[in-house]
Amino acid sequence: MPEENGQKKLAMVVMSGDMDKLFGAFIIANGAAAMGMEVTMFFTFWGLRAIKKDVGTGKTLFGRMLGMMYGGDISKANPSKFSFGGLGRWMFNKMMGAHNVAKLTELRDMAVQLGVNMYGCQMSMDVMEIPQEAFIDGVKEPVGVGFFLLKAQDADITLFI
Amino acid sequence: MPGAAREKGSTMSEEIKVDLELDLKGLLCPLPMVKVSQNITNVPVGGVIRAVATDPGSMADIPAWAKSTGNEVLSAEKQGNEFVFLVKRVK
């Protein structure tokens, strides 16, 4: 068992790539880290872009197509409602800026800084042809479901976003 | 010196020595809590941070942070549009 110092733990799956859900995920992760918890974020499927740099990905035709159609980085995340081909993202960014809410990129960088443990899901990285090199610094080596379940089993809070 | 400088603050805050002032005005969730947590190690154990926020949610969040991390909120009060916290580093 890791640290028996009574440290609380949070384990989170981030499957969504939606702007609103990513806000939720990173705000909770940062809050938990600030409260002294050990935080694990397991990024899978649409969530992988949230930890990606703005680089092209994909090897095969389909992989490259996906890399183009769902490319870029976390700042390309659209809201789950009112997407309107990017207009919704623009509007929410304006509104959040006006209310002085931190940007998604800032929240994510803060999470790295606060020591939040971020992992890519190896299987979806393989399927989507996103290599570890495409991720930002601070993302740990890819893991699988067994690793996540071990963390989840040991955690006080588990979330699926 | 007690009672001389600040007349608006509570009697409590006048007696407590503040080691660090934190301006959290304009910051929204989760930043007030994150900033307090990042700065708590900048005061010695037993030291006090005086933090001023404008986010009403911080009235619930900063005490929750203190409870979770084993630190102490000596006072949390609304002064006009601001929320003033005295946070003591316990460990």
CATH numbers and ranges of domains, chain A: 9-156 (3.40.1260.10)
A101 interaction partners in chain B (CB closer than 8 Å): 28
pTM attached to this predicted model = 0.86
Judge whether B54 lies within some domain: yes
Is B29 a residue of the active site?
yes
Cβ of B37 and A110 within 8 Å? no
User: Which of B22, B24, B34 is the best residue to mutate to test the A interface, defined by the most A CB atoms within 10 Å of its own CB?
Assistant: B34
Q: What is the mean pLDDT of residues A99-105?
A: 88
Residues 6+ apart with CB under 8 A from A133: none
Q: How many domains does one find in chain B?
A: 1
Residues 6+ apart with CB under 8 A from A66: A57, A58, A128, A129
pLDDT tens-place string over residues A112-139? 999 999 999 999 999 999 999 999 999 9
Burial pattern A92-105, b for ≥16 Cβ within 10 A else e, equals bbeebeeeebbebe
The count of other CB atoms within 10 Å of the CB of residue B74 is 16
Judge whether B3 lies within some domain: no
User: Which of A100, A110, A113, A156 is the best residue to mutate to test the B interface, defined by the most B CB atoms within 10 Å of its own CB?
Assistant: A100
Are A76 and A154 within 8 A, CB to CB? no
pLDDT at B3: 40
- Which is the catalytic residue, given B29, B45, B60, B90? B29
Judge whether B1 lies within some domain: no
Strands B20-24 and A157-160: unpaired
Judge whether B26 lies within some domain: yes
Task: Kindly give the residue spans of alpha helices, DSSP state H, lying in chain B.
Answer: 11-15, 31-39, 58-69
Placement of tokens 């110092």 in the chain = A5
Q: Which domain holds residue B71?
A: 11-88
Question: Residue A33, SS3?
Answer: helix
Amino acid at A144: G
Cβ of A35 and B69 within 8 Å? yes
Cβ of B33 and A34 within 8 Å? yes
Judge whether B71 lies within some domain: yes
Judge whether B79 lies within some domain: yes
A34 interaction partners in chain B (CB closer than 8 Å): 30, 33-34, 36-38, 65
pLDDT at A46: 97
Burial pattern B11-39, b for ≥16 Cβ within 10 A else e, equals eebeeeeeeeebebeebbbbbbbbbbbeb
Are A35 and A157 within 8 A, CB to CB? no
CATH code of the domain containing B29: 3.30.110.40
pLDDT at A97: 86
pLDDT tens-place string over residues B41-83? 999 999 999 999 999 999 999 999 999 999 999 999 999 999 9
